[in-house]
Structure 1
Amino acid sequence: MIHDNTARKRQWLDPGEASNPTPKPDIHGKKVMLCVWWNSKGLVYFEVLDSGQTVTANLYQGQLDRLDQAPRRQGVDTASTKFLHDNARPHVAKITQQKIEEMGWEVLPHPPYSPDLAPSDYHLFRSMHHSLAEKKFKNRDEVQIWVSNFFESQPVEFFKKGIHSLRERWRQVIDADGEYHLD
Structure 2
Amino acid sequence: MAFLELGISMRRTARMVGVTVRTVQKVKRRYEETGHYLRRPCNGRPRCTSAREDRYIISTVLRNRHQNAVEVQQQLLQTRRDYISDSTVRRRLAEANLKPRRPASGPKLERQHRVARLRYAREHMQWDEEAWSRILFADESRFSLYTSDGRRSVYRRPGERYLQACISERVQYGGGSVHVWAGIFSEGRTELVAIENGTLTGQRYAQEILNEYAGPYLANMRDGSMLMHDNARPHTAHIVQEYIQEVGISVMAWPSRSPDLNPIEHAWDELGRLVRNRRPPPTTLRALKQALVEEWENIPQHRLRNLVFSMPNLLAAVIRARGGFN
TM-score by length of 2: 0.42
Query: How far did 1:65 drift?
Result: 0.2
- TM-score of the aligned structures, taking structure 1 as reference length: 0.70
Partner residue of 2:180?
34
Compared with structure 1, are the counterparts of its residues 172 and 109 closer, same or farther at alpha carbon in structure 2 (3 Å cutoff)? farther
1:98-151 per-position Cα deviation (integer Å, ceiling 9, x unaligned): 222233232222211111111121x111111221226334233x3343222212
**Aligned pairs (5 A) from 1:118-157:** 118-121=262-265, 123-133=266-276, 135-140=281-286, 142-157=287-302
Counterparts in 2 of 1:171 and 1:95: CA distance versus 1, 3 Å? farther
Look up the SS of the partner of 1:35 in the other structure: strand
Q: How does 1:17-166 map to 2 (within 5 A)?
A: 26=172, 28-50=174-196, 53-62=198-207, 63-68=209-214, 70-71=216-217, 76=220, 80-121=224-265, 123-133=266-276, 135-140=281-286, 142-166=287-311
Query: Helix, strand or coil: the match of 2:271?
Result: helix
- Alpha carbons of structure 1 residues 132 and 37: separation in structure 2 relative to 1, 3 Å: same
> Which of the two has higher C-alpha Rg?
2
2: CA distance, partners of 1:125 / 1:68 = 18
In structure 2, the CA distance between the partners of 1:170 and 1:104, relative to structure 1 (3 Å rule), is farther
Please state which structure has a larger fraction of its residues in helix. Answer: 2
Q: Are 1:40 and 1:164, in contact at CA under 8 Å, matched by a contact in 2?
A: yes
Task: Determine helix, strand or coil for the equivalent of 2:282.
Answer: coil
Equivalent position SS for 1:64: helix
Question: How far apart are residue 88 of structure 1 and its match?
Answer: 0.5
Give, as a single letter, the amino acid of the residue that structure 1 aligns with 2:308. I
Contact 1:68/1:78 (CA < 8 Å) preserved in 2?
no
- With over 3 angstroms needed to count, the CA separation of the structure-2 counterparts of 1:137 and 1:166, relative to structure 1, is farther
- Runs of 4+ that moved beyond 6 A: none
Task: Return 5+ residue gaps in structure 2 as ranges.
Answer: 1-169
What is the total number of aligned residue pairs between the two structures? 153
Larger RCO, structures 1/2 (Cα 8 Å, 6+ apart):
1
1:160 partner amino acid? R
Percentage of identical aligned residues: 24
1:174 Cα offset (Å): 3.5
CA distance in 2: counterparts of 1:143 and 1:155, whole angstroms? 20
| One-letter amino acid matched to 1:71 | Y
Taking the aligned partners of 2:251 and 2:313, their CA distance within structure 1 comes to 19
